[in-house]
């Protein structure tokens, strides 16, 4: 920490901008690249101490260079009865991932990683060290217990922001559950997505299920030329056409896997309850019995059940708090790449209201994107209900030598298409759609930030006023999150 302070002092003296990374594995969001060319990368991966894992109070306190693999191993080696919540790739860090508002797979209270943090230590642009929450109370012993402390809580400024260098961070951990159960529900018609999402919101917000994993059995018709033809027409298939294809092929329109964590008997009771809920609310809903796993699962069970594609009736390592890198293999296949390699991957994750009708509208926007931009790309989506928000992931990939150009165009176009109100009923105040990305690579961060324009960009002005006050030399990650210090503001892209 003293060395980080020393670096900050030097950077101030010479006005050298720094760009801080923890493990720097932010792939899909720019990897370790800074927003401003010419920054010195401040790489914290060698600050890799696990300072505490507490299984009585269910938290961990770590330095930035600790990876998910490190933390998992530490817990396993000591047989501690707590779980981590990790993203798809396990080589990143709880600190870096949370500071980019990353997400995982288990219960709602843990899978929004920034929300699950409990206390930070931060080196500020002036070289001072600040602790948030109870960490500001010297000798309190309750730093990881209550993250707000007293008075205004500045922790939000350090997530997707550039107001400090985080040198320690606490995370709430889920107590190791006794068992895990996964079961599947499917619903017959396209518009059944509406009552389906409503029921899932209820189950999720009541704390009865983990992350719902969406899919569609209609993928089975990918090779069907007639179905492909209606998918390709402008506006896509009507609901009636879609339902006819489903009924003719004895398929359901949507499916979702429900994950339950806890004692085996409460998991099974909650599954029974969920089945009843869907049967009452969606005529024709089917339930597929899944599998109950006693925790801990064995290595063999993890190997067997990880046969992709995902989502499948088999669960996935991160759903068990087990970090892995299997996602890369799957991605190559999902992207339709002939040799299993992927050359480009950029996430586009607009936050959309957690309602079936909104998801269907959003699907149409993407379905209608001009083929000139999207035809070069296979894209795949995955829906996630993550805490308060529902968003869709689109992966663009391309095997052409000039892949980056169409990727860039498609991404820009995707971002911009969500801004003007093209969807009936979506616009409010100036006809702007209320959709916005939750996370973005540096190259698009200004475009995304500029969409958050309420009050003639009141939020941006507030951020920049703060930035100029606490970092007058603009040395900390200029441009991150769309926040530019006065010294470098001319570099803002929009």
Ligand X SMILES: Cc1cc2nc3c(=O)[nH]c(=O)nc-3n(C[C@H](O)[C@H](O)[C@H](O)COP(=O)(O)OP(=O)(O)OC[C@H]3O[C@@H](n4cnc5c(N)ncnc54)[C@H](O)[C@@H]3O)c2cc1C
Nearer to ligand X, 53 or 331 (CB): 331
* 29 in catalytic set: yes
CB of 224 to ligand X, least distance (A): 28
The answer to whether the beta carbons of residues 210 and 180 sit under 8 Å apart is: no
What angle do helix axes 454-470 and 442-451 make, rounded to 10 degrees?
130
Of these residues, 439, 460, 480, 492, which one is catalytic?
A: 439
Nearer to ligand X, 189 or 439 (CB): 439
> Shortest distance, CB of residue 51 to ligand X, whole angstroms?
15
200 vs 334, which CB is nearer to ligand X?
334
193-205 vs 356-367: helix crossing angle, rounded to 10: 120
Listed in sequence order, the residues at least 6 apart from 80 whose beta carbon sits closer than 8 Å to its beta carbon are 53, 55
DSSP per residue, 416-483: HHTSB--STTT-BTTTB-S-EES---HHHHHHHHHH--HHHHHHHHHHHHHHHHH-TT--B-TTGGG-
- Residue 348 Cβ, how far from ligand X at the closest point, in Å? 13
CB of 455 to ligand X, least distance (A): 26
**Choice between 144 and 440, CB closer to ligand X:** 440
Shortest separation between residue 124's beta carbon and ligand X, angstroms: 11
E-strand stretches of 154-202:
165-172, 174-175, 179-187
Q: Which residues bind ligand X (CB under 6 A)?
A: 20-29, 32, 44, 64, 87-89, 92-93, 95-97, 99-100, 102-103, 165-166, 327, 331, 345, 477, 480
Question: Is the previous residue joined to 309 through a cis bond, with omega within 30 degrees of 0?
Answer: yes
Beta carbon nearer to ligand X, 97 or 108? 97
Beta bridge partners of 382: 393
Taking only Cα atoms into account, the Rg of the chain, rounded to an integer number of angstroms, comes to 23
- 105 tagged catalytic: no
- Report the alpha-carbon distance of residue 37 to residue 451 in Å, rounded: 24
Catalytic one of 146, 286, 438, 493:
438
**438 an active-site residue?**
yes
Residues with catalytic roles: 29, 438-439
């Amino acid at each position: 920490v003293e060395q980080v302070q020393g670096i900050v002092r030097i950077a101030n003296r010479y006005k050298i901008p720094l760009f801080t990374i923890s493990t720097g594995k932010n792939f899909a969001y720019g990897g370790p690249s800074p927003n401003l060319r010419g920054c010195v990368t401040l790489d914290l991966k060698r600050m890799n101490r696990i300072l505490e894992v507490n299984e009585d109070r269910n938290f961990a306190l770590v330095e930035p260079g600790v990876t998910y693999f490190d933390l998992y191993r530490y817990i396993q080696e000591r047989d501690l009865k707590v779980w981590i919540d990790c993203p798809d790739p396990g080589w990143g860090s709880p600190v870096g991932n949370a500071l980019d508002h990353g997400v995982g797979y288990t219960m709602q209270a843990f899978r929004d990683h920034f929300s699950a943090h409990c206390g930070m230590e931060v080196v500020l642009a002036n070289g001072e060290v600040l602790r948030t929450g109870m960490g500001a109370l010297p000798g309190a012993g309750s730093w990881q217990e209550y993250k707000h402390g007293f008075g205004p809580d500045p922790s939000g400024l350090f997530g997707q922001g550039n107001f400090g260098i985080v040198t320690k961070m606490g995370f709430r951990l889920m107590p190791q559950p006794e068992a895990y159960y996964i079961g599947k529900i499917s619903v017959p018609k396209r518009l059944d997505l509406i009552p389906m999402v409503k029921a899932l919101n209820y189950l999720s917000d009541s704390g009865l299920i983990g992350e719902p994993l969406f899919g569609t059995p209609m993928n089975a018709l990918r090779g069907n030329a007639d179905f492909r033809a209606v998918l390709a027409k402008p506006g896509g298939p009507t609901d009636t056409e879609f339902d006819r294809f489903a009924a003719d092929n004895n398929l359901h329109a949507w499916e979702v896997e429900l994950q339950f964590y806890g004692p085996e008997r409460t998991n099974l009771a909650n599954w029974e309850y969920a089945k009843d809920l869907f049967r009452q609310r969606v005529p024709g809903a089917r339930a597929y019995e899944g599998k109950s796993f006693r925790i801990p699962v064995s290595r063999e069970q993890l190997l067997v059940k990880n046969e992709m594609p995902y989502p499948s009736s088999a669960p996935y390592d991160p759903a068990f708090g087990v970090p892995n890198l299997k996602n890369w293999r799957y991605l190559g296949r999902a992207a339709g790449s002939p040799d299993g390699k992927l050359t480009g991957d950029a996430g586009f994750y607009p936050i959309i209201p957690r309602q079936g009708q909104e998801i269907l509208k959003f699907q149409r926007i993407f379905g209608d994107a001009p083929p000139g931009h999207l035809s070069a790309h296979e894209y795949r989506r995955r829906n996630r209900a993550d805490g308060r928000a529902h968003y869709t992931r689109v992966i663009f990939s391309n095997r052409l030598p000039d892949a980056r150009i169409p990727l860039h165009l498609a991404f820009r176009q995707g971002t911009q298409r969500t801004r003007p109100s093209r969807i009936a009923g979506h616009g409010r105040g100036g006809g702007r759609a209320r959709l916005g990305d939750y996370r973005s690579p540096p190259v698009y961060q200004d475009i995304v930030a500029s969409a958050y324009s309420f009050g003639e960009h009141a939020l941006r002005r507030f951020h920049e006023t703060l930035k100029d006050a606490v970092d007058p030399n603009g040395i900390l990650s200029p441009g991150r999150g769309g926040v530019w210090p006065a010294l470098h503001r001319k570099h803002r892209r929009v």
